[in-house]
Amino acid sequence: MFSKVLIANRGEIALRIVCACRELGIRTSVAHSQPDGDSLAVRLADEAVCIGPASSEQSYLNVAAIVTAAAMVGADAVHPGYGFLSESAVLADACQAAGVVFIGPPPHVLRLLGDKARARRVMQAAGLPVVPGTDSFDTPEEGTRLAETLGFPLLIKATAGGGGRGLRVARTARDLEHSLGAARREAAAAFGDPRLYLERYVDEPRHIEFQILADETRALHLGDRECTLQRRHQKLLEEAPAVGLSEETRHRLGGLVVKAALAVGYRNAGTFEFLVDRGGAPFFIEANARIQVEHPVTEMVTGVDLVKEQIRVAAGEGVSFQQTDVRVTGHAIECRVNAEQAETGRPSPGVIRAFVAPGGPGVRVDTYAHAGCMVWPHYDALVAKVVAHGRDRGEAIARMRRALDMFVIEGIETTMPLHRRVLREPDFLAGRFTTSFLERFIT
């Protein structure tokens, strides 16, 4: 097992990794930007090292700074969390060259899955149903030409993307012309890669994903998640298990994602994402080669600590259980509490004056926040993840309502008022929603 892990991330996921390492008896060092020097992860880790100024490009996206930091503190492994360089083959290669273990898939898998267009072709060959789409392209002119072949409506997506970054809907050629430049700029800023690809737009789908774990000898899945409630392609509320999936489809896709993971030599944690159309047909859209923001709902219903499993696999110990050991018990819901105006989604950075997290049976809060801390405008707006687990979906919803009513955050605006409204909406309670639900619900 590792003696020290460098955490190359920030916010709640950095603290989450500190917790997992502490339980495994591993020392931690947090690589942080200058504004994050007083963060909770920095306070609670064994040590910390500043890797640059506020700009992500000069800190959390700086491969040389991260590898240098690992050498400075004597870390034998780097955990990249999610976002930033979590799916970077360049960082994985640099770690390997420096004799440091990258806690994630091997570089060749990151290269394959990091090119989302190429990954679609490979997954189709492995037997997964795939939405029609194009190869990656570098220029708007090439994108326009490919769109003529694919047809409208379509999605513009970042080749190196995830988390909704660089994602645009184009229903006409005019939409495409206006959106390609903006998508390229957003993709370059978020991932350091401006390349895009196009995908046929599936109207009114549900967004379903499967959690996998794999080591040197085997792969297994830990069930599915419902990630349909989104605003501008950013997930706001997730559930496990998925509400809109038949048992036959659940069983079939679970087997297929394990087969696909084995086919590409996958290792560590990952997620296979699908759109399910109104007829119930699933289509693979991408694989995320990292831990997901919404991993706690899977942990709550399976009892598996996914971050500790990531670390065990990277250390060569392998996954600590078998597929037959996986049991999904009850239902879990996660609400992402963002520093945003509830109705408009506009960012609301600032100092948190008061912060009181909820507790009680079945409630978990993953956060970096505390009274007096600053929510910086430079980074993602996520402040906390509230997770509620119950014997069934109804109890999970009731516990989430109670938790949100108890949660006190003052000094910034948050998405909690929106979550409270959704949790009392009849269509949500009945499971009748698609990815456009929040847009219609808010207006």
What are the residue numbers of the active site? 290
10 Å CB burial of residue 265 (0-12, 13-18, 19+) is: middle
SS (H, E, C) the chain: CCCEEEECCCHHHHHHHHHHHHHCCCEEEEEEEHHHHHCHHHHHCCEEEEEECCCHHHCCCCHHHHHHHHHHHCCCEEECCCCCCCCCHHHHHHHHHCCCEECCCCHHHHHHHHCHHHHHHHHHHCCCCECCECCCECCHHHHHHHHHHHCCCEEEEECCCCCCCCCEEECCHHHHHHHHHHHHHHHHHHHCCCCEEEEECCCCCEEEEEEEEECCCCEEEEEEEEEEEEECCEEEEEEECCCCCCHHHHHHHHHHHHHHHHHCCCCEEEEEEEEECCCCCEEEEEEECCCCCCHHHHHHHHCCCHHHHHHHHHCCCCCCCCHHHCCCCCEEEEEEEECECCCCCCECCEECCEEECCCCCCEEEEECCCCCCEECCCCCCEEEEEEEEECCHHHHHHHHHHHHHHCEEECCCCCHHHHHHHCCCHHHHCCCCCCCHHHHHHC
Rounded Cα gap, residues 384 and 414, in angstroms: 10
The two structure tokens encoding residue 312: 């065990």
CA distance 379 to 373: 14
Q: How far is CA 317 from CA 1, 86, 107, in A?
A: 8, 21, 19
